[in-house]
């Protein structure tokens, strides 16, 4: 996990890990059958870092909000986790504890399991999408070494031409207001909008 955090998932191999451990590569197979098994263990270990509360608060929105923030934290801590989530079946004990808690947040609202899954899926996809955007911005900054001010200055001549055309008035408003990178405040705003929408559409009497 430390190697993947520092260098990316593509650098992980049984031979590389063996070298780090000063061991023969074949000796690792006495403990782990394959690289795929290793990736499954890494995925589950990542979800083991989630700080799940011992019990629900009784407020489904508050519980989902807290859980979403926790998932965002570990996905940003381990950027390779999102890759594994989209390519491997997550069935380890730590992931299952997370999944059980996720469904439990809305289990007492009298919903069918299909609707519960739709709510869980909507929240999960929102978190994955937002974090993907954050990680892309961070990777771009690392790769180019440019600050936000640098990027703004480089783009300014072209952007001024775009604005001068008069064809994009809302883009002009956006540009002059200053484009803020994705952050915790933006994450919380979007999540609250999502939860409000779910409540209005699927749970109109849940808070009454």
Tens digit of pLDDT for each residue in 160-189?
999 999 999 999 998 888 767 778 889 999
Confirm whether 137 is domain-assigned. yes
Tracing tokens 């405040």 back to the chain, one arrives at 185
Tell me the average pLDDT of the chain: 88
Quick one: pLDDT at residue 208? 46
Tens digit of pLDDT for each residue in 38-96?
899 999 999 999 999 888 998 999 999 999 999 999 999 999 998 898 887 788 999 99
Domain CATH for 107: 1.10.357.10
Confirm whether 150 is domain-assigned. no
**Which residue range(s) make up the domain with 109?**
2-145+178-202
Structural domain count of the chain: 1
169-197 burial string, b = 16+ CB within 10 Å, else e? Answer: eeebeebeeeeeebeeeebeeebeebbee
User: What angle do helix axes 169-177 and 148-164 make, rounded to 10 degrees?
Assistant: 150
101-130 burial string, b = 16+ CB within 10 Å, else e? Answer: bbeebbeeeebeeeebeebbebbbebbbeb
Confirm whether 164 is domain-assigned. no
Query: What average pLDDT score do residues 5-18 get?
Result: 86
Confirm whether 33 is domain-assigned. yes
Give the DSSP H or E segment for 98: helix 93-104
Check: pTM over 0.85? Answer yes or no.
no
């Amino acid at each position: 996990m430390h190697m993947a955090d520092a260098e990316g998932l593509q650098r992980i191999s049984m031979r590389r890990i063996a070298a780090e451990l000063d061991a023969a590569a074949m000796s690792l197979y006495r403990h782990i059958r394959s690289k795929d098994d290793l990736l499954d263990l890494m995925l589950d270990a990542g979800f083991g870092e989630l700080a799940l509360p011992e019990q629900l608060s009784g407020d489904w929105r508050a519980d989902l909000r807290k859980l979403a923030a926790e998932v965002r934290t570990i996905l940003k801590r381990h950027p390779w986790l999102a890759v594994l989530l989209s390519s491997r079946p997550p069935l380890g004990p730590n992931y299952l504890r997370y999944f059980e808690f996720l469904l439990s947040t809305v289990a007492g609202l009298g919903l069918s399991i299909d609707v519960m899954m739709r709510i869980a899926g909507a929240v999960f996809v929102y978190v994955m999408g937002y974090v993907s955007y954050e990680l892309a911005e961070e990777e771009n900054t690392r790769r180019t070494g440019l600050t936000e001010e640098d990027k703004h200055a480089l783009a300014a001549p072209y952007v001024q031409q775009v604005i001068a055309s008069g064809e994009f008035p809302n883009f002009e408003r956006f540009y002059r207001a200053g484009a803020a990178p994705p952050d915790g405040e933006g994450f919380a705003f979007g999540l609250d909008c999502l939860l409000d929408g779910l409540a209005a559409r699927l749970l109109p009497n849940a808070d009454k």
